Structure formats: structure tokens, C-alpha cells
Structure 1
Amino acid sequence: MKKLYSIDKASVSDIKGITKLRVALLKEVDEIQTKEEEAKIISATKNYLETEIPNHNFVSYIAKNDEEVVSVSGVSFFKRPPYLENLQGVEAYILNMYTLPNHRSQGLARQLLEKCIEECKKRNVKRIWLHASKDGEPLYKSMGFSSKGSEMELFL
């Protein structure tokens, strides 16, 4: 039986769930080794999200199964000096894409990524970029991202 999920734009009330999945992601890619590192990441992430979600500099889409956040995405928006491919300089960085292992292969990451791209289009972002895990690369390629060195990018 297929599980039921809701997909929503995250709010400040979702910070605990977003942080939980961010920690799970960082542990999975071996970027958190100790309880002390985990505590630092939890505190810093919470502080960042409490500021950046209300300021709209960071947008997250989440998938919930009942009330549990089981999949997450994030987009950080910024403006850099213009260059030929992006004369407005508006860019977005996708990060924090993660789905709990027992909820994978349900299309959640694709749905969340689509929401992130829609948000970027609404904000007139010209370039979206990210660093992909080996497991994530096929999804990003299927959505039009191309590899450029250690990162992947999509021009809108």
C-alpha cells in the first residue's frame, strides 16, 4: 500500500523537523562524527532557520507522512555581480535534499525539487546550482541540471 504524503512550504513551526533531517543527511555523508558536532549543527541550523525563513532568504519544502517530516529540500537565494549568462545576478543554491530511508522511492525528492524550481522561477532566478551526492545525480540530471566541475547547475 502506497503511503500518503503532504507537500508544503515549510514555516518556522517546521524547524525541528527540517533540522532533524539535516542532521540525518550530514550523518549519512559522514560530516557529523560526534555528539558535540551534532549539538553545534542543531543549534546553528535552528538559529539560521529562525532568521532566514521569515526573511524569505531560505525556502524549504517538506513532505510529511501524518505529522512527521520525512523528506526535505532547501533553497538559499542570493544576488551576485552580473555575468553574461546571468545579467541580473540572481541565483539560488539547492541544498539539504534528503528523504528518510524508509520513505525513499516514492517520488518525494522529485516533487520537492520541482517546488524549489517553481519558487526560483517566481523569483526570477537565472541560475540554480547545487552539489549532488552520487545517489542524487540521476534525479538532478533528469530535471535538466548539468555537471560543471564539482557542482551541477540549471539555467532558467
Structure 2
Amino acid sequence: MEVRPLTPDDVDLVCRHREEMFREAGRDDAVLRAMTERFRPWLEPRLRDGSYFGFVLAEHGRAVAGIGLMAIDWPPHPAHPTQDKRGYVLNLYVEQSHRKQGLGRRLMQLAEDEFARRDVQYAILHATEMGRPLYVALGWHATTEMAKDLRPAACP
């Protein structure tokens, strides 16, 4: 399996993998199209400037898995009192034809190595139900994070 870094030419691949990841998690196609319509212009400049980075695993030149990473500004925190960045793992996706071959594990190791290279000592991710067992097996654990949708409620 070939490993290469993400490049700006991978925008379509990242968008496709992101859509498939959320589709498999049960999200509606119309919502996914709207998401990608906004995600693509968000992603393009970040791939170009390197603030969104990551890796692709390819077989015979065809991408079969990928992972996105960011080092995000975050104030020092009890979990990382001397760091002002958090690593963020997103969009890990392995195509169905290549699952159960250790590719997700390989991508996560590449991610952790890259964060270490960048001196990022604490990282977060949001797990789908499908991905959760992998992350737990690699030593990741749930935190106290909560979320709330702040958009106004739809009128009946």
C-alpha cells in the first residue's frame, strides 16, 4: 500500500470520502449535498495553505483510504497545560472494498506520528459508531464534550 500526503488535487477525494462516511452513518443525501457544497470551498484554501493536511493510502495508484488532520488553536487546558494547539482528526475513511485490512489503524498511526512531528501533544476526534471500536483499541477515550445546535427552531 502506497502512502502519500494529501495535496490540493485531493479535494474531490476528500469530499467524496466525507460524504460516504456520513452516508454510512445514516445521514440524508440532501443534507450531504448541502454540506459538500459548503465544505469544498472551505477545504480548498486549507489544502493549499497546509492547514488541512493528512494522508492517502493508495493501491496501484488508486486512493482507497484517507485521513484529514488539523492543528487547531486552543487555549492551554488541564489536558495540555503547555500547548496552545490541539490536533484534530477528521474524515478518516476506508473504502468498503479495503476494510478489515488494518488501513484505518495505519492512518491513525500516521496521524499520531505527524502530530508528534509537529509537537502537537493532545488530539481530538469525533467518532462514528463504526469507527469507535478502532479508536478505543488505539487508546482514545470519550471526553465530556457536549454540543447544541444554536440555529432557531423551525416554526410548525
> Smaller-chain TM-score range?
0.7 to 0.9
**Identity between Structure 1 and Structure 2 (%):** 22
1:78 maps onto 2:72 in alignment:
yes
C-alpha displacement at 1:116, in angstroms? 0.8
C-alpha displacement at 1:97, in angstroms? 1.1
Higher mean C-alpha displacement, 59-68 vs 21-30: 59-68
CA RMSD of aligned residues (A): 1.9
Distance 1:54 1:68 in 2: 22
Distance 1:129 1:89 in 2: 14
- TM-superposition CA deviations, 1:40-66 (whole Å, max 9, x none): 333322212211122221112111223
TM-score normalised according to structure 2 size: 0.82
TM-score normalised according to structure 1 size: 0.82
1:138 maps onto 2:133 in alignment:
yes
Distance 1:131 1:42 in 2: 18
1:12 is matched with which residue? 8
Distance 2:36 2:121 in 1: 31
- Residues 1:44 and 1:69: Cα distance change in structure 2 (over 3 Å): farther
C-alpha displacement at 1:67, in angstroms? 3.2
In our comparison, the structure showing a higher alpha carbon Rg is 2
Distance 1:145 1:132 in 2: 10
1:88 maps onto 2:70 in alignment:
no
Structure with more strand by fraction: 1
2:100 is matched with which residue? 105
Give 5+ residue unaligned stretches, structure 1: 152-156
- Residues 1:120 and 1:91: Cα distance change in structure 2 (over 3 Å): same
C-alpha displacement at 1:120, in angstroms? 0.7
Count of aligned pairs between the two proteins: 145
